[in-house]
Amino acid sequence: MRLKDKVAIVTGAAQGIGAAYARGLAREGAAVAIVDILDPNPVAKEIVGNDGKALPLLVDVSDEKQTQEMARKVADTFGHLDILVNNAAVYGTIVRKPFEEITVEEWDRLYAVNVRGIFLCVKAVAPYMKAQQHGKIINVTSSTFFKGNEHFLHYVSSKGAVVAMTRSLARELGNYNINVNAIAPGQTLSEANLKRGEQVDAHSLNIRLLKRRLFPEDLVGTVIYLSSSDSDMMTGQILLVDGGTAFH
Ligand X SMILES: NC(=O)c1ccc[n+]([C@@H]2O[C@H](COP(=O)([O-])OP(=O)(O)OC[C@H]3O[C@@H](n4cnc5c(N)ncnc54)[C@H](O)[C@@H]3O)[C@@H](O)[C@H]2O)c1
Q: Is 155 a catalytic residue?
A: yes
For residue 71, what are the CA distances in angstroms to 59, 74, 98, 149, 195?
11, 5, 38, 34, 32
Contact between residue 233 and residue 177 where contact means Cβ atoms under 8 Å apart:
no
Q: Of residues 190, 222, 227, 245, which one binds ligand X by CB under 6 A?
A: 190
Exposed (0-12), middle (13-18) or buried (19+): which is 112, by Cβ within 10 Å?
Answer: middle
Q: Does 16 bind ligand X (CB under 6 A)?
A: yes
Total of residues contacting ligand X (CB under 6 A): 31
Q: Which is nearer to ligand X, 62 or 235 (CB)?
A: 62
Q: Find the binder of ligand X among 192, 205, 234, 246 (CB under 6 A).
A: 192
Would you say 39 or 230 has its CB closer to ligand X?
39
- Least distance from C-beta 215 to ligand X, angstroms? 10
Does 185 contact ligand X by CB under 6 A? yes
HSE toward the beta carbon, residue 145, CA cutoff 13 A: 20
**Shortest Å, Cβ 229 to ligand X:** 25
113 binds ligand X (CB under 6 A): yes
Q: Alpha helix (H) ranges present in the chain?
A: 16-27, 41-49, 64-78, 104-111, 117-132, 144-147, 153-173, 191-195, 202-207, 217-227
245 binds ligand X, rule: CB under 6 A: no
Closest separation between CB of residue 113 and ligand X, Å?
4
* DSSP, residue by residue, 178-245: EEEEEEEE-SB--HHHHHTT----HHHHHH-SS-S-B-THHHHHHHHHHHSGGGTT--S-EEEESSS-
Q: Does 60 bind ligand X (CB under 6 A)?
A: yes
Contact flag: residue 37 with ligand X (CB under 6 A): yes
Residue 91 as a binder of ligand X (CB under 6 A): the answer is yes
The residues binding ligand X (CB under 6 A) are 11-12, 14-18, 36-38, 59-62, 87-92, 113, 117, 140, 142, 185, 187-188, 190-193
Residues known to be catalytic: 155
